[in-house]
Structure 1
Amino acid sequence: MKKISLLLGIMVLGFSFPAKGQWIPQSPSTDKIVESTPPEQLYVHINSTLFFPGEYLLYKVYTIDGSVGKVKNISQIANVELISETGEQIFLQKVSLENGVGQADFFVPTTVPSGNYKLIAYTNWMRNFGDTFFTQDVVIINPYQAQQKNLLKKRDNFPHFQDSPEFETTRDQRNLMSLNKEVYGNREKVPIEISTGSGNRKGNYSLSVRKVSQLPAIERVTAEQLVNSWQKVGVESNKFFLPEVRGQVLKGRIIPVNGETGARLDDRHISLSLPGEKMFPLIVATDEDGRFFFNLDQKRIKENIFLEILGEGKEDFEIELQKYEPLNFDPSQFSSYSLLPEMQEEILKRSIFNQIENAYFQVKPDTLVSASRDTGFHKSIEVRYDLDDYKRFKTVPETFVEIIGSAWIRRNENGERVFEVRGLGNSINMEQLPMILIDGVLIQEHNDLIELPAQNIKSISIIRKKIFRGPQIFQGAILVQTNDEEFSNFYKKPYITHIQLNRPEIKKKYFHQMYSDVNSEKRIPDYRYQLLWMPKLEINGSGKTIELYTSDVEGEFEVVLEGFTEEGDPVSIRKTFSVQ
Structure 2
Amino acid sequence: MKRSLYIITFFLIGTLNVLGQNQAKMANLSQKASIESIYVHYSNNLLLTGEYLFFRIDVINKKQSNYSNLSKLGYVELLSAKGDRIAIKKVTIKDGMGDGDIFIPTNTPSGYYKLIGYTKATRSGQFSTFFKDDIVIINPYTNEQKVFWPNNESTVDGNLEDLKSGAKLDNNSNRNPIELQLNKSVFSTRDRVELHLEAPKNLQGSYSLSVRKLTNSLTYSIKKNPFNAGLKNEKAINENNKVIPEVRSEIIQGTLRALNNEVSAANRKIAFSLPGFNNEFRIVNTDNNGDFAFNLEGRNLESNLFYKILDGQIQDFKIEIENLPILEVAEEEIPPFILTPDMENSITKRSVYNQIENAFYGLKPDTVLLENVKISEFGNKFISYELDEYTRFPSFKETLVEVVDNAWITNQGGKSSIFVRDTDATRETVGYEPLVVVDGLYVTDHQSVINYPASKIKTIKVFRNQYTFGGTIYQGIFQIETFEKDFFNLYADLYANLELLRPDVPKKRFKQLYGKEQEKSIIPDFRHQLYWNPDLRVKNAITVDYFFTSDVPGEYVIELEGFSDNLSPIRSVKKFTVK
The two structures have a TM-score, normalised by structure 1, of 0.87
**How far has the Cα of 1:459 moved from its partner?**
4.0
Number of equivalent positions? 558
1:128-207 pair list within 5 angstroms: 128=125, 130=127, 132-152=129-149, 154=151, 156-159=153-156, 160=159, 161-163=162-164, 164=166, 165-169=168-172, 173-197=176-200, 199-207=201-209
Partner of 2:6: none
Checking the alignment, whether the CA contact within 8 Å between 2:417 and 2:447 is kept in structure 1 is yes
Cα 1:388–1:174 shift into 2, 3 Å: closer
Which of residues 93, 100, 105 in structure 2 aligns to 1:97? 93
Deviation, structure 1 residue 189: 2.1
> By how many angstroms is 1:523 displaced?
3.2
Q: How is 1:189-338 mapped onto 2 (pairs within 5 angstroms)? A: 189-197=192-200, 199-214=201-216, 215-227=218-230, 229=232, 239=241, 241-260=243-262, 265-266=266-267, 268-277=268-277, 279=279, 281-311=281-311, 318-329=318-329, 332=332, 335-338=335-338
- The whole-number CA distance in structure 2 between the counterparts of 1:175 and 1:484 is 53
Paired AA for residue 202 in structure 1: Q
1:301-333 Cα offsets, whole Å, 9 max, x none, are 111111222247777655443344222335655
d(CA) in 1 for partners of 2:348 and 2:360? 19
Asked if 1:505 corresponds to 2:504, the answer is yes
Question: More displaced, 505-514 or 126-135?
Answer: 126-135
What pairs up with 1:436-451 in 2 under 5 angstroms? 436-451=436-451
Partner of 1:3: none
1:9 paired to 2:17: no
The residue number in structure 2 matching 1:526 is 525
Q: Which 10-residue stretch deviates more, 336-345 or 512-521?
A: 512-521
Give the Å deviation of 1:408: 0.6
How far off is 1:210 after superposition?
A: 0.8
SS of the residue 1:400 aligns to:
helix
Deviation at 1:97, TM superposition (A): 0.5
* Offset from partner CA, 1:282-302 (integer Å, 9 cap, x none): 222333443221111122211
State the shift of 1:230 in Å. Answer: 5.0
Pairwise CA distance, 1:184? 2.3
Counterpart of 1:120 (choices 103, 116, 120) is 116
Work out the CA distance in 2 between the residues paired with 1:276 and 1:491: 17
Query: How many Å apart are 1:118 and its aligned residue?
Result: 1.0
- The 1:254–1:345 alpha-carbon spacing in structure 2 relative to 1, beyond 3 Å, is closer
The structural deviation recorded for 1:427 is: 5.0
Q: How far is the alpha carbon of 1:567 from its aligned partner?
A: 1.3
Matched residue SS, 2:98: strand
Q: CA deviation at 1:570?
A: 1.9
Matched residue, 1:382: 383
Please report how far the alpha carbon of residue 455 of structure 1 lies from its aligned counterpart in structure 2 after TM superposition.
Answer: 4.5
In structure 1, what is the equivalent of residue 489 of structure 2? 489
Gaps of 5+ in 1: 1-6, 18-26
User: Is the Cα contact below 8 Å between 2:177 and 2:571 reproduced in 1?
Assistant: no
| Structure-2 residue corresponding to 1:435 | 435
In 1, distance between residues paired with 2:484 and 2:508?
31
Instruction: Please provide the CA RMSD for this pair.
Output: 3.0
Give the match's secondary structure for 2:344: helix
Q: Is 1:341 matched up with 2:337? A: no
Retained in 2: the 8 A contact 1:276–1:439?
yes
User: In the TM superposition, what is the alpha-carbon distance from 1:13 to its structure 2 partner?
Assistant: 8.3
Shift of 1:73: 3.7
Q: Which residue of 1 aligns with 2:5?
A: none
- Which moves more between the two structures, 203-212 or 307-316? 307-316
SS of the aligned residue for 1:226 comes to coil
- Once the 2 structures are TM-superposed, how far is the Cα of residue 506 of structure 1 from its aligned partner? 0.9
Distance 1:186 1:277, change over 3 A: closer
Equivalents in 2 of 1:81, 1:169: separation in Å? 26
Letter in 1 for 2:549: T
Residue of structure 1 equivalent to 2:476: 476
Mapped partners of 1:114, 1:327: distance in 2: 22
| Unpaired stretches in structure 2, ≥5 consecutive residues | 1-11
Counterpart for residue 560 of structure 1: 559
Q: Structure 2: how far apart are the matches of 1:50 and 1:521? A: 33
Q: Is the 8 A contact 2:197 2:544 kept in 1?
A: yes
Segment of structure 1 superposing worse, 160-169 or 199-208: 160-169
- CA deviations on 1:72-128 (whole Å, 9 max, x unpaired) are 242111111111123332211101101100010122221222221111111122223
Structure 2 CA distance for aligned equivalents of residues 241 and 13 of structure 1 = 10
TM-score (norm 2): 0.87
Aligned partner of residue 295 in structure 1, secondary structure: strand
Matched, 1:417 2:416: yes
Deviation at 1:456? 4.3
**Corresponding residue for 2:404?**
404
Does structure 1 retain, via aligned residues, the 8 Å contact 2:257–2:265? no
Q: Structure 1 pair 374/176, CA: closer, same or farther in 2 (3 Å)?
A: farther
Do 1:512 and 1:532's aligned partners in 2 also have CA atoms closer than 8 Å?
yes
Q: Could you tell me how far 1:497 is from its partner in structure 2?
A: 3.1
Alpha carbons of structure 1 residues 153 and 82: separation in structure 2 relative to 1, 3 Å: farther
The letter of the residue matching 1:517 is K
* CA pair 520-553 structure 1, distance change in 2 beyond 3 A: closer
CA contact (8 A) 1:80 1:119 kept: yes
- Seen in structure 2, the aligned counterparts of structure 1 residues 76 and 449 have a Cα distance that, compared at 3 Å, is same
The answer to whether the 8 Å contact 1:188/1:550 transfers is: yes
